[in-house]
Amino acid sequence: MFEPIVKLIVALNGNLKKGQIAAGFSWGLLLGLVPAGNVFWVLVFVASFFFKHHHVSKVLVLALIKILIGLINPLLDSAGWAFLHIEALEPFFTALYNMPFVPLTRFNNTLVAGGLVSGIVLFIPVYFIIRLLVPLYRNKVLPKIANNAVVKSLKRLPLVSKLLKAIGSAAGAKDTL
């Protein structure tokens, strides 16, 4: 139950490259914004494994976005509708729809198109933002969290101490926080 969270904490606190963590967040965002259950989502998911990134951060961001997708769907629907109604692209979309197997991607669904366009547009900015935030977290936030009086008292609780031991053993360190 705690294993994915432990792995993300270990990655953030450890020596894993910040670019790999950032790429995992970006892939999770893209996969989270595109509705699952069609061939296109499966193809993007499989393609993501050909690139080097932190898979646990991808899955956690994907899960978080899928939890919040009800709030995001109206924006994705509007973006998809606007994209699918670009007059210059209508002949291209018609040709795609008449090809075999391409309609299985559901590219002509406003949520799929909006999720794809939004995910592609946000992929690079999210990558660079997370790439900047990881060192900030490691150098500024983590020491403040570790020295906080509330955190020190929480460390004494049995469940928290077991979680910290699991994080420490996964990281190969004695004390993570």
Burial of 119 (0-12, 13-18, 19+ CB in 10 A): buried
- Does any domain span residue 174? no
- Does any domain span residue 176? no
Count CA atoms closer than 13 A to 76's CA, side-chain side.
26
pLDDT (tens digit, 9 = 90+) per residue, 106-150?
888 899 999 999 999 999 999 999 999 988 888 888 778 777 777
- Does any domain span residue 156? no
Note the pLDDT of residue 33: 94
CA 102 to the chain's CA centroid: 26
- Does any domain span residue 67? yes
Q: What is the domain count for the chain?
A: 1
Q: Supply the range of the domain harboring residue 82.
A: 3-138
Residue ranges for the chain with pLDDT beneath 70: 1-15, 167-177
Note the pLDDT of residue 10: 64
H or E stretch at 173: none
Interacting residues of 120 by C-beta distance below 8 A, sequence separation 6+: 30
Note the residue count of the chain.
177
CB atoms within 10 A of CB 138: 14
